Amino acid sequence: MSATARLLAQGLGPGRPLRVLAASGQLGYGVPEAALKAGIARAPHFIGCDMGSIDVGPYYLGAGKLATTEVVTKRDLRLVLKAAVGLGVPLLIGTAGTAGAAPHLARTRAFIHEIAEEEGLSFRMATIHADMPRALLREMAAAGRTRPLGRIAALDPATIDRAAHIVGQMGTEAFIRALRTEPDVILAGRACDTAIFAAIPQMLGYAPGPATHMAKIIECTSICCTPGGRDAILGTLENESFVLESMNPARAATPVSVAAHSLYEQADPLHVHEPDGAVDLSAARYERLDDRRTRVSGATWQPTLRSTIKVEGAEWCGERAVLLAGSCDPRVIENAEAIIRGVRANVADIMPPDPARPYELFFHVYGKGATSLFAAVPAAAEEIFFLVEVIAPTMETAHSAASVTKQYLLHHGFPGRLSTGGNIAFPFTPPELPVGSAYRFSIYHVTECDDLASVFPVEVETIGAG
């Protein structure tokens, strides 16, 4: 009997407490083991882990690579696989391999196969793919059924074609479809963080408002506590309410700390949008149960009439090389803007840009406001740092531009210059370094969808001896 079949046979449902263990909000950075063990001892009905995020930037989605290392990723996967198989409960993993596109899913799946073999584990695994069919997306864009999720251009066919990878965020529908195949483990591509934890409650008939609210909080594990941290958290869903308890005794889920979590990385703290509806938190109540536990209720669910999918895509935009150097000369600091203008002219002279395939030179001058996205300039520093970034069609061009910039920045003459030995200090050589391919998010849109099942297909396999 599979873990899912066992779960479904327990007669769980509204009024009967459902214990959900959130083991990791970002699998692959090191799951704290003591709290995971404490969570296992509480006999959870299932274990969920989030493994990805868009927050890490466009590189991982574009390049098809994991942000986490093989060693730590396998360590974490091993811990949660052994825990779930040992308890005989379902394990749900969302946004496999950082970004959840085909290469991320394949790599994570290979790790799981290796671990199963090394540990002698056997289980049934459902894999859910999340690569957005391009033809469908083109069709939706042409029909005016897509829209940008902020200040990004409307979706056009060329953007769809250029993207290295495009994923859709699956919701509970895909997980429930996978659960019907009665797996022990679900490995999902790009998924809404909430869907990992809300699918089973929804399948068992728990009220969707509180279930989704609980999912939204526990997907970040103990970040909702004071002090916040990465330890596993146990969410116990009753029906109209749920109770939160960190599996690290040093962390307390208090009414204010839990309520405050609704703000975290959300543009709007009162509404959480899901593919099939939205949670309204305006009437949410947070009650202290004891020093470390809070009961939450009051979230309401508004289903949408038409399913939507949040779509993310990244495209290659060049090869990146950087130059690293500092300066403490007051005249260099004072004249930095003029020096940069001069150096740009020198570089353009030595390497005339090809108008069809230009390279770009960015000067990030730390100590002069380089950290700010807005027009904020902090007080002048006594030491500044030049991070020069080149994005070019080839690494040869990027590296060459960084190299030429280095030499001209070092020796650029300007009125009032005293330090004719050099304007900048290099922390090491070579100070100009090839970084690799650069990507940018080209798609961050929402599309309507008439057939979710075709976008998020499920594949089932038996791993190990059985």
Partner 1 sequence: MYGYSILRMSEQPNITVPGEKLTDIAQVIRSKNAGPLHVTLDVMFPDRPSYERARQSPALAAEAIARLYKVEPAFVSVIPYSAAHAIKVTIDRPIVAGTPGDADVYGAQQHLLLLGIVL
In 408-449, at which residue ranges do the beta strands (DSSP E only) sit?
432-448
CA distance 349 to 99: 41
- Asked if residue 322 binds partner 1 (CB under 8 A), the reply is no
Helix axes 336-350, 395-411, angle to 10 degrees: 130
Phi/psi zone of residue 451: left (φ > 0), alpha (ψ -120 to 50 degrees), beta? beta
Per CB under 8 A, contacts with partner 1 among 251-280 are 256, 259-260, 262-270
Residues facing 38 on adjacent strands: none
Indicate which single residue of 34, 142, 143, 152 sits in contact with partner 1 (rule: CB under 8 A): 152
Residues facing 310 on adjacent strands: 446
Nearer to partner 1, 46 or 59 (CB): 59
CA distance 243 to 123: 31
Piece of 72-80, 112-120, 368-376, 449-457 that binds partner 1 (CB under 8 A): 368-376
Nearer to partner 1, 202 or 297 (CB): 297
CA distance 111 to 180: 24
Nearer to partner 1, 263 or 345 (CB): 263
CB of 272 to partner 1, least distance (A): 12
Nearer to partner 1, 134 or 440 (CB): 440
The DSSP H or E segment spanning 406 is helix 395-411
CB of 256 to partner 1, least distance (A): 6
CA distance 444 to 179: 28
Q: Is 169 exposed, middle or buried (0-12, 13-18, 19+ CB in 10 A)?
A: buried
CA distance 298 to 314: 38
Indicate which single residue of 225, 237, 252, 284 sits in contact with partner 1 (rule: CB under 8 A): 284
Q: Per-residue x/- marks for partner 1, 376-415, CB under 8 A?
A: x-x----------x-x------------------------
Q: How many residues bind partner 1 (CB under 8 A)?
A: 46
Nearer to partner 1, 353 or 422 (CB): 353
Interface residues with partner 1 (CB under 8 A) are 54-59, 149-152, 256, 259-260, 262-270, 281, 284, 286, 317-318, 320, 360, 362, 364, 370-376, 378, 389, 391, 438-441, 444
